[in-house]
Structure 1
Amino acid sequence: MLTTGVPSRSLRAVSAAVLVSATALVSPAVLPTAAAAVCKDVQVVFARGTDEPPGLGRVGQAFVDSLRGRIGNRSMGVYAVNYPASYDFLAAADGANDASAFIQDVVNTCPNTRLVLGGYSQGAAIIDIITSVPFPAVGFNNPLPPDVPDHVAGLAVFGNPTTKVGLPLTSSPVYGSKAIDLCNFGDPVCSGGDDVPAHRSYGPDGTASQAAAFVAGLL
């Protein structure tokens, strides 16, 4: 399900939706990359799902692999958001702070780099926070400056908790036209369904390729 629309967003709804992501399940992932030292044409920032080991996570890796094959000879950097990804969902604020710091560093040091932001489950909620909350709150103390949207080419989230409460990333008045917010039918994290396997199937089911094609079209 690809959601659209432009309802208002709020920190309360975003924070509440983070708590919904408890059903996110795990799989192996690559280790996170270091902060970018060389400017890339494209820089992906991806936040893994709950209880996945440090790195991009299964969905993030599938998305990055698919996107890399769609951007021709352009260089691409990859950053895995550094945060606990634990069942202490308030710690998602740590991920939001980390992602924001990295994004700001890229914008300041590599102004011509096109940013791609993404996340799965609790990681999707992190992307919601940094794109929707312009002030410090609930542990999030590093909001993005107002010029950052000019550097963001596209956003892709999977199993996004805020979609369940009617606030998909596509509803953002700033980022909505650049975003794809994918929710599998029956996924209990992003919909009213109760099909837990639907939440596990992002990536291999073709959604990573779908998101990569959407983002590549914006680059």
Structure 2
Amino acid sequence: MRFTVLSSAILLAAVNFGDSAAAALKDVDDCSKYVLLSVRGTGEKQGPSIGFKGMISTTLKTVKGGTEYDVVYPANTDRNSTQIGVEDLENYIHHGLQTCPNQKYGILGYSQGATVALTAIKDLTGTPAEDAIGAVLFIGNPFQVRGQLTTFNQTGGDSTRDYNGVLLFTNPSIGLSEHWVISGKALNICDDGDSVCTGVDQLPSRPHYLYGFTATVQKLGAEHLVSRFK
């Protein structure tokens, strides 16, 4: 997606010189029906997260008019890493509200990316941006909240629903609020063997890295996103 900032001089040129200048202003309408904002996990390189590639691809093919944006942040263990991601995500949506007011957003967070996503939607709750958010989706969420009906395991069952994420005790307010649970917009996927979202151990177990390679997870995610943007 491309956003164009128009100066008063360009606008004046459009008025004074007619169709040719007006044609240069068409970028203002270069908006999408929806944007899937992907926030990768710790250690993944900048770019698409492996955790969401299948579900994003399926969604974009099934519901036309969408695009993807990979949130820009370090995704490392530095203290400010998460906050950098939060700022990029929020700035993207705020800018989008100004340039593409009808555009919708899906926010997808994997591991540390889930922390970024959760923090951002907490900040955006009660603002105009909340209405523009059509879906939120988390995998390997370290701030998973016990008992929420939005939590499913890797096959769509509820076996991981009664677990708190490994980091929830550090700041319970980051966990998904009931406001978002009842909104119908949220899906939280936690693999049975994932120590991060089940709170078993701070060291990620092997299943924490397998969401992107698990067909049922990608199917669950795609079905949720398609249902929210069709």
Per the TM superposition, whether the score is higher than 0.5 is: yes
What is the TM-score of this pair, normalised by structure 1? Answer: 0.72
Report the 3-state secondary structure (helix = DSSP H, G, I; strand = E; otherwise coil) of the residue aligned with 1:65: helix
Mark the runs of 5 or more structure 2 residues left unpaired by the alignment. 5-26, 145-164
Pairing partner for 1:101 from 91, 105, 115: 91
- Cα distance in structure 2, aligned partners of 1:76 and 1:213: 15
Match of 1:139 in 2: none
Greater Cα radius of gyration, structure 1 or 2: 2
Q: Match for residue 57 of structure 1?
A: 49
Structure 2 contact 180–186 (Cα < 8 Å) conserved: no
Identity of aligned residues (%): 24
- Greater helix content: 2
Question: Shift of the alpha carbon at 1:76?
Answer: 1.2
1:214 aligns with: 224
Per chain length, whose mean CA-contact separation is higher, i.e. which structure has more relative contact order (CA < 8 Å, sep 6+)? 1
Unaligned runs of 5+ in 1: 1-32, 135-142
1:162 maps to 143
Q: Which moved more, 1:162-171 or 1:147-156?
A: 162-171
The count of corresponding residues between Structure 1 and Structure 2 is 176
> Hey, what's the Cα distance between the residues in 1 that align with 2:79 and 2:217?
25
Change (3 A) 1:188 1:90: farther
> For structure 1, which segment, 158-167 or 82-91, has the greater mean C-alpha deviation from structure 2 after superposition?
158-167
Return structure 1 stretches of 4+ with deviation > 4 angstroms. 33-37, 166-170
Contact 2:32 2:67 in 1 (8 A): yes
| Cα root mean square deviation, aligned | 2.4
Identify the residue that residue 67 of structure 2 maps to in structure 1: 77
Matches within 5 A, 1:97-176: 97-132=87-122, 134=123, 146-163=127-144, 164=165, 165=168, 171-174=177-180, 176=183
Distance 2:177 2:184 in 1: 9
Given candidates 174, 183, 205, the residue that maps to 2:190 is 183
Name the aligned partner's letter for residue 61 of structure 1.
K
| Deviation readout 1:57-78 (Å, 9 max, x if unpaired) | 211322311212321xx21121
Shift of 1:170: 5.1
TM-score, normalized by length of structure 2? 0.69
Deviates more, 1:44-53 or 1:187-196: 187-196
Contact 1:124 1:157 in 2 (8 A): yes
